[in-house]
Amino acid sequence: MREIVVFSGSAHRELAHRICDALGVPLSQSVTSRFSNDCLQAQLLANCRQRDVYIVQPLVAPTQDALMELLLMVDAARGASAAMVTAVIPHFAYARSDKKDASRISLGGKLVADLIATAGVDRVITMNLHAPQVHGFFSMPVDHLTSLGVLADHFREHDLEDTVVVSPDLGNAKDATQFSRLLGLPVAAGSKKRLGDDRVVIDSIVGDVEGKRAIVLDDEIATGGSIVELMDRLAERGVTEASVACTHGLFAGKAVERLSTHPMIREVVTTDTVPAPAGWPALRVRSVAGLFAEAIKRIHEGESVSSLFDGVDPTHAPPRQRSLFDGVGG
């Protein structure tokens, strides 16, 4: 695999190292400099000519710096005559800005996708976009991976008797349904109304949860407001305890304090698409580096990547079927 060259931005070098270890290739060196006027400059320190270049960079805080660094590294690879440039973006931060839900509001998800295309990216590999329609914002091929299989493997180590999978909202219920099928469990969902960035109201629970333990599955946890609100509703419905699982554990603001001290929450499980917060040793982190490495290997060798999209091991569940929640929540 000498023709593959992998670089990492500064957002999450640990994940890039894990991906390279799984691929059996070295992580090539790069340097990003900041000038006195606050402008960034990226330099790639390995030969890119006629090679397949992969740049690993989740869009995490400081998000604008991470995005600009990615664009500059792509531009540098293009200028160095790379045969193909693939942006590996485990967390696409602007996926939440996916619709016009207010007057004269920006559509950040589409704009950032256009910026990535203009910089010269040939292909994008990402994971668990906040909304399916964001996939269509990109003008180049997108390999949209899922962490459901990795998270399900964690819970197979548990006693799952009298357990139900719960989605915080109907929009995430399709993934929750797939996750529940991987574990052979029933599924429920909250009906959520967002009042602000960290203020939500969950006014009802769809499904039977009384007397059960819950596995709450979400794609992304930022401040933890939705999860805490859901815990209150689940407690009112007779849930005894809950585990919380998500793909992108951003844990911003007071999220660590909220989740680590909540009496209903037994454990929190996430993946390494973004760096884990410091000072939370009880957080369980499952790596998705193997999935990204497998996607890179298959793309490079011209093989199908579609089997990585559903996270479905045929041993545990048949392919996805239409569910009660299909067509609900957008």
One-letter amino acid of 185: L
DSSP state letters, 119-180: HT-SEEEEE--SSGGGGGG-SS-EEEE--HHHHHHHHTTS--TTEEEEESSGGGHHHHHHHH
Contact partners, residue 36, CB within 8 Å, separation at least 6: none
Bridge partners, 157 (sequence order): none
Dihedral sign (CA 148, 151, 153, 159): negative
Helix (H, G, I), strand (E, B) or coil at 292: helix
Joined together, the tokens standing for residue 190 give 């909250």
Other CB atoms within a 10 A radius of the CB of residue 65 amount to: 18
192-208: burial string, b at 16+ Cβ within 10 Å, e else: beeeeebebebeebbbe
Q: What is the CA radius of gyration of the chain?
A: 20
Bridge partners, 31 (sequence order): 43
Measure the CA–CA gap between 9 and 67, rounded to whole angstroms: 10
Query: What are the residue numbers of the active site?
Result: 192
Contact partners, residue 269, CB within 8 Å, separation at least 6: 151, 154, 155, 243, 244, 245, 246, 283, 284, 285, 286
Measure the CA–CA gap between 29 and 195, rounded to whole angstroms: 44
- Shortest CA distance to 184 belongs to which of 206, 209, 164, 212? 164
